[in-house]
Amino acid sequence: MRMELVTIRELKSHVGKTVRIGCWLYNKRSSGKIQFLQLRDGTGFVQGVVVKSEVPEDVWEAASRLTQESSLYVTGTVREDARSQSGFELNVTAADIIQIAVDYPITPKEHGVDFLMDHRHLWLRSPRQRAVMVVRAQIIRAVQQFFDDNGFYLVDPPILTPSSCEGTTNLFHTKYFDEDAYLTQSGQLYMEAAAMALGKVYSFGPTFRAEKSKTRRHLIEFWMIEPEMAFVDHEQSLAVQEKFVSHVVQSVLTHCRRELETLGRDVSKLENVLAPFPRITYDDAIALLKERGHAIEWGEDFGAPHETEIAQQFDKPVFITHYPTAIKAFYMKPHPDRPEVVLCADLIAPEGYGEIIGGSERIDDPELMADRFREHELGDEAYKWYLDLRRYGTVPHSGFGLGLERTVAWICGLDHVRETIPFPRLLYRLYP
Ligand code: 4AD
């Protein structure tokens, strides 16, 4: 009878026993009498030791034939080994080859980014890329845990939509039979409807922006978490956001130490990410930037260098609040005493990783909302339903959107968002 497979992650509960794992050869060293097989199975990495004098000839031969990324089953005895990354070693007694991989294109030497991106389907197997995906999965788990534990319902907004949410300049157009449709830019408007039905809701789904920007922070397709809360004002929403982001970061620190180590992340920069977060108004941010020699005037939006300069003043994520009404989305509620600014905030990650959250209190007054629709020339059939939300039992409400990939980039300490998602969609890149 075949032995049941054990994963590398489970080896710790099999010390001294003989187990069988399904794995790939990541790397190999040989001293002539001993072969050291670096094996990986997705759950971790372990060294398999094949001693010529201790194994049958065919096992030694099989090990000798192995090339990078060959697939096999390995049987061996689990030994504790403090020096190895997994903490264990396998004393190999049998090796059953599934396939010998010929000419695996990604070798341990350095490759250019374009080459790696063309081979993303294989690049994902590397220890660094695996670590990023493990952290991403943990962030998603922490997000769901936070909202589940805080009384939110998960609601799924549509992906094909008849209208825009964040402006019309970066919509992906498609035909919906005889009608025009767009891939969603944000589920927010639908989440507002859901909040009026369920109180506190959040969505987690793909988002599309046909942005012709080739920066290290922009993806064409990214994943967004969008909570929306009835009877919650701007200030209360900020309190939720800082608790939420702290929870996510601390959860990764608890569960992904090894992955952060693989990525060379300085965890001291994450350990202090605990609520409350500092706040700075847009007005004060403009003054600060001018003081530091930036050519920026009140009324202009911030670019990446501005955000980085502001972030450098703090060692935690910082909220920039109360942006000018004219540069923000149509649905944001004006400040009651200063209608030229809105009750909104962007959360800027430390160390130059840029904006990770955009959020606001929403306009709840039906007259003002109708005015905004006229000003923004949105007054067509596609939004009729949205105005109903202000007509039938309108209430104060707030929400925000966290970009998953920018959050992964920050927590993992990655320069570019292309490594934060399994198959990135970037400007001019749709392959693989
Ligand atoms: O600031 P944004 O555009 O906000 C909204 O879409 C709101 N409707 C959200 C809401 O209130 N429900 O986007 C929110 C976040 C940004 O802070 C950023 O993290 C991420 O989404 N994001 C992007 N991430 C990667 N690539 C892009 N092109 C992104 N655009 C926005």
Beta strands 179-183; 173-176: pairing state: antiparallel
359 within ligand 1 shell (Cβ under 6 A): yes
The mean pLDDT of the chain is 96
Which pairing describes strands 160-161 and 221-230: parallel, antiparallel, or unpaired? unpaired
pLDDT of res. 109: 85
Which residue has the CA at smallest separation from atom 4 of ligand 1? 358
Ligand 1 neighbourhood includes 195 CB (under 6 angstroms)? no
Per-residue pLDDT tens for 377-389? 886 688 899 999 9
Per cent of the chain over pLDDT 90 is 92
Residue 169 pLDDT level (bands cut at 50, 70, 90): confident
At 354, which helix (H) or strand (E)?
A: strand 354-361
Give the model's pLDDT for residue 106. 97
Q: What is the pLDDT of residues 368-377, one digit of tens each?
A: 999 999 998 8
Q: What percent of the chain is predicted at pLDDT more than 70?
A: 99
Query: Would you state the CATH architecture of domain 120-419?
Result: 2-Layer Sandwich (3.30)
Q: What is the number of the ligand 1 atom nearest to the C-alpha of 359? A: 11
Mean per-residue pLDDT for 282-299? Answer: 98
Residue ranges of domains in the chain: 8-99, 120-419
Instruction: Extract the tokens encoding 112.
Output: 């250019």
pLDDT at 1: 60
Is the Cβ–Cβ distance between 296 and 323 less than 8 Å? no
User: Per residue in 306-355, pLDDT tens?
Assistant: 999 999 999 999 999 999 999 999 999 999 999 999 999 999 999 999 99
Residues 86-122 pLDDT 10s: 889 999 999 999 999 999 999 988 999 999 999 999 9
* pLDDT confidence of residue 378: 84
For 8-99, the fitting CATH number among 1.10.540.10, 2.40.50.140, 3.40.190.10, 2.40.30.30 is 2.40.50.140
Ligand 1 atom nearest the C-alpha of 355 is 17
The pLDDT value recorded for residue 382 is 81
- Which residue pairs, CB below 8 angstroms and at least 24 apart, start in 386-392? 386/189, 386/192, 386/193, 389/192, 389/193, 389/196, 390/363, 390/364, 390/365, 390/366, 391/366
Q: How far apart are CA 189 and CA 199, in angstroms?
A: 14
317 lines ligand 1 (CB under 6 A): no
Ligand 1 midpoint to CA 206 (Å): 11
| Closest C-alpha to ligand 1, atom 6 | 186
Identify which of 224, 343, 361 to mutate to test ligand 1's pocket (most ligand atoms within 8 A of the CB): 224
